[in-house]
Amino acid sequence: MNKKILLTFLSMVFSGSVALASEAARADDAQAVPQSSARIRLFGQNGVGVWFYRNMACYKTGMWGPTDAETVSGGLGDAFASFVGVASNSGIGMPETTTTREIAKRNGMLSKAFFREYSVDADKPLTVLVSFGDVSGMRCGYLSASFVPKAGKDYEGVLNISVAERVCRLEIKEITGTPEATELKLVDDMKPAGKCR
């Protein structure tokens, strides 16, 4: 009996130590951006397609969807992981924002939200392409935004959806402030991207 109590106590202490260590590690995770590049965090989930094009101010699509793009959300594996609630975030040390802290508010029925962070070339165009569709029949065709990331800066791209208003808005924002107190401001040079010719 005493062994069980001791084991239970030790596992509780160890669990608490691990939790404290992981909290401290998360606080230290916000790393400076290399001055030759920028970083972007993009959010996805089941029903939301998110792709991006490096060094391009346009996007390409084919018969089966976007082509020559990096897929953030919209692949079968991501959709299934989001559907069953096991989708996970992938970070490279970007500071937390209100969006990441409140990511659970973006969850839908059978659609867990997640984010992915990427290092991208600075001073070269970047295009983000998104789409949305759900079981209610609401659809948003391709929405795109292109901008030129600045060296040493962090950005966040998110598709905001209002099912009640049947509206989708793609927003790209620069993360400013300090790692402890971040703010988000709309990117000045963001514009809709067209299809590549």
Q: Is the pLDDT of residue 88 over 80?
A: yes
d(CA 27, CA 177): 15
**Alpha carbons 89 and 138: distance in angstroms, whole number:** 26
Return the higher-pLDDT residue of 28 and 94.
Answer: 94
Q: What is the pTM of this model?
A: 0.79
pLDDT digits (tens, 9 = 90+) for 13-22: 333 333 333 3
**Are residues 54 and 4 part of one domain?**
no
Which band of pLDDT confidence, cut at 50, 70 and 90, is reported for residue 29?
low
Residue 5: CA atoms inside 13 Å, Cβ hemisphere, count?
A: 2
Under the banding of pLDDT at 50, 70 and 90, the label for residue 180 is: confident
- Is residue 88 domain-shared with residue 140, that is, in the same domain? yes
**Does 125 lie in the same domain as 46?**
yes
Q: What is the mean pLDDT of residues 131-153?
A: 93
pLDDT value at 81 more than 60 = yes
Q: Is 136 in the same domain as 162?
A: yes
Structural domains counted in the chain: 2
Q: Are residues 157 and 114 in the same domain?
A: yes
- Beta-sheet pairing, 126-133 with 139-147: antiparallel
Residue with tokens 């659609």: 111
Residues 6+ apart with CB under 8 A from 111: 45, 46, 47, 48, 82, 83, 134
Question: What CATH number did the domain enclosing 71 receive?
Answer: 2.60.40
- Residue 16 belongs to what domain range? 1-30
pLDDT of residue 79: 75
Say whether both 19 and 95 belong to one domain: no
CB contact burial 84-118 (16+ within 10 A = b; e otherwise): eeebeeebeebbbbebbeebeebbbeebbbbbbbb
Q: Residue 147 gets which letter from DSSP?
A: E
Contacts of 104 (CB under 8 A, 6+ apart): 113
Q: Are 18 and 73 within one domain? A: no
- Do 10 and 49 belong to one domain? no
Q: Of 77-86, 117-126, 151-160, where does mean pLDDT reach its minimum?
A: 77-86
Are 172 and 86 members of one domain?
A: yes
Alpha carbon separation from 140 to 38, 164, 179, 195 (Å, rounded) = 29, 13, 34, 17
